[in-house]
Chain A
Amino acid sequence: MGGRTRSDDERLYNYSSLLACGGKSSQTPKLAGKHRVVIPHLQPFKDEYNRFSGTYVNNRIRTTKYTLLNFVPRNLFEQFHRAANLYFLFLVVLNWVPLVEAFQKEITMLPLVVVLTIIAIKDGLEDYRKYKIDKHINNLVTKVYSRKEKKYVDCCWKDVTVGDFIRLSCNEIIPADIVLLFSTDPDGICHIETSGLDGESNLKQRQVVRGYAEQDPEVDPEKFSSRIECESPNNDLNRFRGFLEHSNKQRVGLSKENLLLRGCTIRNTEAVVGIVVYAGHETKAMLNNPGPRYKRSKLERRANTDVLWCILLLVIMCLTGALAHGIWLSRYESVLFFNIPEPDGHIVSPALAGFYMFWTMIILLQVLIPISLYVSIEIVKLGQIYFIQSDVDFYSEKMDSTVQCRALNIAEDLGQIQYLFSDKTGTLTENKMVFRRCSVAGFDYCHEENARRLESYQEAVSEDEDYTDTLSGSLNNVAKPRAPCCRTVPGGALGSKPSDHLSGSTCAVGSGEGASEVFHSRQAAFSSPIETDVVPDTRLLNKFGQITPHLFTSLDGTIQRPALETFYIMDFFIALAICNTVVVCAPNQPRQKIRLSSLSGTPIRSLEEIKNLFQRLSVRKSSSPSLASGKELPPGVPSTFVSRLSLFSRMKLTSPMEEEVSPMNESSQGCSNSACCMQIEKPHSSAGLTDSKVESLPGSPLASNLCYEAESPDEAALVYAARAYQCTLRSRTPEQVMVDFAALGPLTFQLLHILPFDSVRKRMSVVVRHPLSNEVVVYTKGADSAIMELLSGVSPDGANQEKEQMIIREKTQKHLDDYAKRGLRTLCIAKKVMSDTEYAEWLRNHFLAETSIDNREELLIESAMRLENKLTLLGATGIEDRLQEGVPESIEALHKAGIKIWMLTGDKQETAVNIAYACKLLEPEDRLFILNSQSNDACEVEMSVILKELQKKTPASPGQASLRKCSPQPPLTQDSGQRAALVITGKTLEFALQESLQRQFLELTAWSHTVVCCRATPLQKSEVVKLVRSHLQVMTLAIGDGANDVSMIQVADIGIGVSGQEGMQAVMASDFAISQFRHLSKLLLVHGHWCYTRLSNMILYFFYKNVAYVNLLFWYQFFCGFSGTSMTDYWVLIFFNLLFTSAPPVIYGVLEKDVSADTLMQLPELYQSGQKSEAYLPLTFWITLLDAFYQSLICFFVPYFTYQGSDIDIFTFGNPLNTAALFVILLHLIIESQNLTWIHMLVMIGSILSYFFFALVFGAMCVTCNPPSNPYWIMQEHMLDPVFYLVCILTTCIALLPRFTYRVLQGSLFPSLILRAKHLDRLTPEERAEALKKWRGAGKKNQVTSKYVDQSTGKSGRRPVSGPSAHAMKSATSCAAEQGDLPLCETALDLGFSAPEASDMMDPKI
């Protein structure tokens, strides 16, 4: 670049940056705190370097939390942050107080120590793994300039420091954040791949610092005397501000374009040199590396409250003990044998003794608080996640990826989702953009071949050859176009011929696929043939072909209609081709830009030569006669404008290479001489230019091999579409874009500016200097709403054209609506021609904006607004974003599962609604309410109207509705006989989200079962999620794939990232990453359900187990004067929880499957139990506790009565208690668990055996080892005693009898959905299919015949039928009153399983 304008601007910039920094006096080094000064780490500046860089960290990274030395203290410190651990520590300490000591001091420590050790080992292993990775990274080698050796020497990453010069070659990973000073690329650009950072595999361009691009071959670090001042390290990847100050105080601004980030990879660039500005932990990559996410699951929160209840229970029990002990003591006046005085002889008063006893009891009954619960939960979660991740159903061949669990502790939340917020693009749809239709200058081109091709492609994906066969066949034979109302159906004769030709061309592309297989899978996903080939619309192609030769006649000024259209078409395709940030590369040399190696090897000096040459030969005529365009050049075009054109027209198709030289400094802005394109002759004619080693490359095959890498797939789709019309984007550098335009040959656009896409403006623009007209042209591409607003009211070309524009505009708008109705993504293309002065004016302002450090973003937007106005509409495109495989089915299943699905999309309303219909989010019979109001009040009114209507619809619940006003609660789906759907637009959403309307909005959404929010910004998305989550207190799940979903994903209870086309940002932010939307249904319905039931049952079981066991001790207190005696040996007591009964629940938690995966998938209704937290209601908790109380009572009193009055001693008494408790607890688990595998049995038996083994060995070995409680030989005695067995059997039976009876009764009398589904699993496959059919069929039948409904309602009258549902059935509209049928489903299902069930029940009994 470096034109005069530029240098002017540079000066301007310097000035402004001075201004900007003036206040903070950036020149003083004091600022190092806020800004950072980087000086080369080399001898001449050593002092200065030390002054500035003393505090800068080096590049060694350490992500480990611990070192060998601090592991133990640090880990302990971390662990004691947990309340539970602190509690147990407190207990240990308490036990050291002699007055209250209950156990031996050491024994109390045991559980704590075990738990701490387990966690410490886990942490340690994780840390060690990190350490190894760190070590590996730290020891990677890079080339750092060494002053001693005057060259770049190998150096470990860890030794790189700020200020070092680093030289990197292609495909090397960048070791630190580097300011790019040199690139072998002649344009001073460097491509990097940031997949290591954000997962986006496309290439991004980075630029050498201005002023260095033109420098000598390489920056000589010795001579580098500038210093860099930039921001302090921060974690904003997309921001870097600073400037480089030369020794002569001249400043050059630095932006993120100049910064190479650590972790990225250099691509397509031979070598780069840069200076390190941030190293090690201060690099943006490291700062951006958040620790593991920690979310607390709902279940865990519930469990925590229940732990609190347990503590309360514990306190109550201890208080009872303490009081009773005091009372007991006070009954006796004198000193007793068994009430031992203190060592010093005095007797404690009963009150004080009671007080001591309180603490003793706490120690004694500590087991009530399940210390092992947390450890077990963690283990179970790990196990569950292991199973989720190893589920083959989640495997996606295309992505070669399976589900990825990034958050380890919220798997069970998957089972409780009530609201699902989904992004549309890339989540529901494939995000494989296929160019479908376009409208240029008010004419719609429907590209139906494309549509057909897509269809046929789907049929024959497998074989490429088949594919082309089918394709050509379908092109010729398929009579009926897919798009039913395509306006321009080509005549058969007309259509067949070109399509023959076309099929041939696609054949060629198909064969080109072989090359593209070289790519790794991700890239293949980008460039799969379905996206890359666009079959041009024949009509448009005809127009295109016919018109091109007329181009110049039309330019003559005699403006005719078709000519104008031609212009439009041409501009349209040029805009398609260049208005983007697509990087071009050739698939057969992966990751190598199409820029020819010969060129990149060309010294810049030769460019100058070419320029000179060009100037000398500026009027030299092309000598290629073969070109039609050359021949058709109109001679003697009057205006300079045309003369310039003629210059361009000489560019040949045959010469694949051309070089563009930046505008010459000396030229004034309007001067034609500054036209800076030059043409390289055909090899044979331009022998003089061998200097540049231009080789002729086969043009057209190359073109078809071109491959585009775009940041967003629709960009790529547009470029491919343009290519189909032979408007091929050939290469792109920061300064120029080369386009192969069919008839015009290669055109080179000087790229003046790119205003990148952002979600606020919803558009992007490029400013180019048109090679033909040499005008400054702004091409803008963006959302239709954004563009339509900016169209010029007055066209500069006069009234005629203005009218034309109006017509075009109207027509296009119509087309746009039409596209949107078909669910196509629409984009508008517009352009604007600027005069050079206008441009210069704008540029000046823009630079001002660009160079300000502080509110650059706002200024930039403002500046963009200034540029993007008064646009001329060229046309619109419709891109199809195909639905992902299995999306409708998944959505349907999720709906049935009672999950409310919201679709939040940035697309326009029509598109969104259509997609929603397509994926069955909306059913045709749904009542659709559309909220689209322009003001706050209107919105309110609208909402209340809809609300009223809804309430009228469901008269069953007027009371509830009024109730709901106080606290918005989602009404049960039974209430609404008809499903209502709400569509709300972004603007209205803004109103609805306001404080005043929130409640009403929520109420409204609670009524509707699907909500579609269109035109939602990322922020709105997250606000919606936040609103629903916090106000309705429901479990929310957000799923999305793009960066715009990140905020939503983070806000929701569970964030799911779809690892799709738009990079990995969503995945990075998510808790789970899946590769396709359809996996979500299994993830939720099966794994979510399992994880939830398993974990909740396990937690309940843990509570049960501890309460049951601890109460044994408690009951004993009644018989030992509440003195805190335990009738069990302490070791057994501790081990009971820690060893004997810990493994089975964990196994249960990991392996339990209450209903098989198939059934769960087929009956999504089962999911609702999780939503209602059925497995873990407060009631269940208390019932479980009651059961535990009962069982412990039995466990205690059966042996008590048996041994009452006998000569049994304490520990002999305790032994049968223990044994019975063990059996009861384990058998309880068997009753509770639904499927028993051999693993279960193994673990159970193992537990029992280990208990007996331990007791026997301990009894045999321990004669005096455990002084106060000595279980010597007790177990052995008992093993010989029949009473022991009798007692154990009796106890176990009595204890489990109620539970078992309850379960059996529940199974036959009031089976829950889950139970009945479970029975389905037991059936043979045929029976099962039958039963399933009945299950589903029942629902349908009910809908049809209301008579039957009444009948069976009467029949099933013994089951409580809720009022609203009965009402719904009677009214029996044809809508899907799915809740209404539920009781009927039950009836219908009864027959399905009652017979086998009955036999199941009876078998063991008879």
Chain B
Amino acid sequence: FFIVGLIFIPIGIGIFVTSNNIREIEIDYTGTEPSSPCNKCLSPDVTPCVCTINFTLEKAFEGNVFMYYGLSNFYQNHRRYVKSRDDSQLNGDSSALLNPSKECEPYRRNEDLPVAPCGAIANSMFNDTLELFLIANESDPTPTPIRLIKKGIAWWTDKHVKFRNPPGEGTLEERFKGTTKPINWLKPVYMLDSEEDNNGFINEDFIVWMRTAALPTFRKLYRLIERKNDLHPTLPAGQYYLNITYNYPVHSFDGRKRMILTTVSWMGGKNPFLGIAYITVGSIAFLVGVVLLVINHKYRSTSNTADTVAF
């Protein structure tokens, strides 16, 4: 017990400190509140709807900053939802491309054309566009756009092994010939991005989305903000604004949308729980150990007295 206690407490403290050092800011832009700038986008008439949210970073974000979008109350882990995909198709199998798995029903075919990528997951892909601008200072109204890196947000193995575009020569459009886009999508899959190596099935936003979240409230990596050099913080303290192209409807399921900016440590994102838990458990173990020691001691003495009486 003492060992457990003694080991756990420092670990907990370490974790806690690390976690506390992580800078994180979360901006809800669902727009259900009337005051929110994005409130206007709730009506389906406004298309495209762009809204802007201002926020201030109190402290500078050092190191690489990760930009997430977060969704709440979105049950990406619903059994039938999770199943509704065709890994073979996503892996570039040409036969599966034109004849997707039954699991994709009812998002398997649209107007007699196979849907690529098929299934409910793909169909419901997050399609807001987020842009981040730094208002350098009060005086200068021209905002500096923050460079958001699209690549490197998906697992390497996903991008290079699990997801593949259909084989063949020619442009992606040709390779995806004979398929149609998912119903909810605005653009076909081969137009997700301008870059060839981030388009089609290997579009990293798409890959990230396809990795279904475990819990109904989740975040997904959207962009990376790379550290420029050691001298300047990646995101200096100051005023920023977030430009949102609002496409994704969440109010039907009381969902919420967020944008999260966070730095990372060796243990990932900010989460005080682990540290606290470690500290607590360590302390409890220590306490129990002490209690046991006392009990044992007392016990031994009582038995010793009994001993002397008996013999």
Binding site for B on A (CB under 8 A): 102, 332-334, 336-345, 360, 1119-1121, 1123-1125, 1127, 1198, 1200-1214, 1263-1264, 1267-1270, 1272-1273, 1276-1277, 1281-1283, 1286-1287, 1290, 1293-1294, 1297, 1301, 1304-1305, 1308-1309, 1334, 1338, 1341, 1348, 1351-1352, 1355-1356, 1358, 1387-1388, 1390-1391, 1394-1395, 1398, 1401-1402, 1404-1406
| Smallest beta-carbon distance A1118→chain B, Å | 10
Known: A343-B105, A1209-B211, A1391-B310. 5 other contacts (CB 8 A): A337-B120, A1125-B82, A1203-B215, A1272-B158, A1391-B303
B68 within 8 A of A: yes
Closest to A1269 in B: B82
The number of A-B residue pairs with CB atoms under 8 Å apart is 241
A1405 touches B3 (CB 8 A): yes
A1209 touches B75 (CB 8 A): no
30 residue pairs from A and B, CB less than 8 Å apart: A102-B79, A333-B252, A338-B75, A338-B81, A338-B124, A339-B78, A339-B81, A343-B106, A345-B106, A1125-B78, A1201-B273, A1202-B271, A1203-B214, A1206-B268, A1206-B271, A1210-B77, A1263-B87, A1264-B88, A1270-B87, A1273-B155, A1273-B158, A1283-B274, A1286-B267, A1286-B274, A1286-B278, A1297-B288, A1308-B296, A1394-B303, A1405-B292, A1406-B2
Closest to B258 in A: A1205
Closest to A1268 in B: B83
CB contacts (< 8 Å) of A1213 on chain B: these are 214-215
B70 within 8 A of A: yes
User: How many of B's residues come within 8 Å of A, CB to CB?
Assistant: 83
B38 within 8 A of A: no
B306 touches A1208 (CB 8 A): no
CB contacts (< 8 Å) of A339 on chain B: these are 75, 78, 80-81
A-B pairs with lowest CB-CB distance, top 7: A1213-B214, A337-B124, A1390-B303, A1391-B307, A343-B105, A1120-B77, A1268-B83
- Tell which of B68, B162, B216 touches A1263, judged by Cβ atoms closer than 8 Å: B162
Bound-state CA distance A515–B27 (Å) is 105
B304 within 8 A of A: yes
Q: Digit string of B242-265 for contact with A (CB within 8 Å is 1, else 0)?
A: 000000000011000000000000
Q: Which of B42-50, B128-136, B139-147, B218-226 contacts A (4 or more CB under 8 A)?
A: B218-226
CB contacts (< 8 Å) of A1338 on chain B: these are 310
A1268 touches B85 (CB 8 A): yes
| Smallest beta-carbon distance B70→chain A, Å | 7
Closest to A1389 in B: B303
B4 within 8 A of A: yes
B266 touches A1282 (CB 8 A): yes
B161 within 8 A of A: yes
Query: Which applies to chain B's interface (DSSP): helix, strand, loop or mixed?
Result: helix
- Tell which of B82, B107, B273, B289 touches A1210, judged by Cβ atoms closer than 8 Å: B82
Given A1210-B212, A1304-B292: A1120 and B78 interface contact (C-beta under 8 Å): yes
A1119 touches B215 (CB 8 A): yes
Bound-state CA distance A1384–B290 (Å) is 29
CB contacts (< 8 Å) of B218 on chain A: these are 1205-1208
B193 within 8 A of A: no
- Tell which of A1210, A1270, A1293 touches B4, judged by Cβ atoms closer than 8 Å: A1293
B101 within 8 A of A: yes
B75 touches A1293 (CB 8 A): no
B91 touches A1264 (CB 8 A): yes
Bound-state CA distance A1294–B284 (Å) is 10
- Tell which of A334, A1267, A1404 touches B87, judged by Cβ atoms closer than 8 Å: A1267
CB contacts (< 8 Å) of A1309 on chain B: these are 295, 299
A1127 touches B281 (CB 8 A): no
Bound-state CA distance A1214–B214 (Å) is 8
Bound-state CA distance A155–B31 (Å) is 99
B32 within 8 A of A: no
A1123 touches B80 (CB 8 A): yes
B11 within 8 A of A: yes
Bound-state CA distance A218–B247 (Å) is 111
CB contacts (< 8 Å) of A1406 on chain B: these are 2
Bound-state CA distance A1203–B219 (Å) is 11
B306 touches A1272 (CB 8 A): no
B213 within 8 A of A: yes
CB contacts (< 8 Å) of B281 on chain A: these are 1290, 1293-1294, 1297
B274 touches A1123 (CB 8 A): no
CB contacts (< 8 Å) of B77 on chain A: these are 1119-1121, 1123, 1125, 1127, 1210
| Smallest beta-carbon distance B178→chain A, Å | 21
Bound-state CA distance A1200–B310 (Å) is 55
CB contacts (< 8 Å) of B305 on chain A: these are 1355
- Tell which of B15, B80, B87 touches A340, judged by Cβ atoms closer than 8 Å: B80
- Tell which of A340, A1214, A1305 touches B292, judged by Cβ atoms closer than 8 Å: A1305
CB neighbors of A among B108-143 (8 A): 108, 120, 123-124
B123 touches A360 (CB 8 A): no
B155 touches A1202 (CB 8 A): no
CB contacts (< 8 Å) of A1203 on chain B: these are 214-215, 271
Closest to B219 in A: A1207
| Smallest beta-carbon distance B54→chain A, Å | 24
- Tell which of A343, A1127, A1204, A1210 touches B217, judged by Cβ atoms closer than 8 Å: A1204
B293 within 8 A of A: yes
- Tell which of A1214, A1294, A1404 touches B3, judged by Cβ atoms closer than 8 Å: A1404
Closest to B282 in A: A1293
Bound-state CA distance A1297–B124 (Å) is 44
CB neighbors of A among B72-98 (8 A): 74-88, 91, 93
B2 touches A1277 (CB 8 A): no
CB contacts (< 8 Å) of B68 on chain A: these are 1207
Bound-state CA distance A343–B84 (Å) is 11
| Smallest beta-carbon distance A358→chain B, Å | 14
B79 touches A1125 (CB 8 A): yes
Given A1213-B214, A1263-B162, A1277-B155: A1290 and B274 interface contact (C-beta under 8 Å): yes
B172 within 8 A of A: no
- Tell which of B8, B79, B309 touches A360, judged by Cβ atoms closer than 8 Å: B79
Given A343-B106, A1123-B75: A1402 and B212 interface contact (C-beta under 8 Å): no
CB contacts (< 8 Å) of A1287 on chain B: these are 274
CB contacts (< 8 Å) of A341 on chain B: these are 106
Bound-state CA distance A1405–B75 (Å) is 45
- Tell which of A344, A1124, A1294, A1405 touches B79, judged by Cβ atoms closer than 8 Å: A1124
B9 within 8 A of A: no
B171 within 8 A of A: no
Q: Digit string of B59-76 for contact with A (CB within 8 Å is 1, else 0)?
A: 000000000101000111
Bound-state CA distance A1334–B82 (Å) is 67
CB contacts (< 8 Å) of B309 on chain A: these are 1351-1352, 1355
| Smallest beta-carbon distance A1206→chain B, Å | 6
B277 within 8 A of A: yes
B75 touches A1388 (CB 8 A): no
Given A1124-B79, A1290-B274, A1352-B306: A336 and B253 interface contact (C-beta under 8 Å): yes
Given A1290-B278, A1351-B309: A340 and B300 interface contact (C-beta under 8 Å): no
A1355 touches B214 (CB 8 A): no
Given A1201-B277, A1305-B292: A1207 and B213 interface contact (C-beta under 8 Å): yes
| Smallest beta-carbon distance B72→chain A, Å | 9
- Tell which of A102, A1120, A1334 touches B75, judged by Cβ atoms closer than 8 Å: A1120
Bound-state CA distance A1391–B215 (Å) is 55
B15 touches A1272 (CB 8 A): no
Bound-state CA distance A340–B77 (Å) is 12
| Smallest beta-carbon distance A435→chain B, Å | 53
Given A338-B75, A1201-B277: A1121 and B216 interface contact (C-beta under 8 Å): yes
Given A339-B81, A1210-B77, A1405-B3: A1267 and B88 interface contact (C-beta under 8 Å): yes
- Tell which of A1123, A1263, A1334 touches B78, judged by Cβ atoms closer than 8 Å: A1123
Given A1210-B77, A1352-B310, A1391-B307: A1402 and B88 interface contact (C-beta under 8 Å): no
CB contacts (< 8 Å) of B55 on chain A: these are none
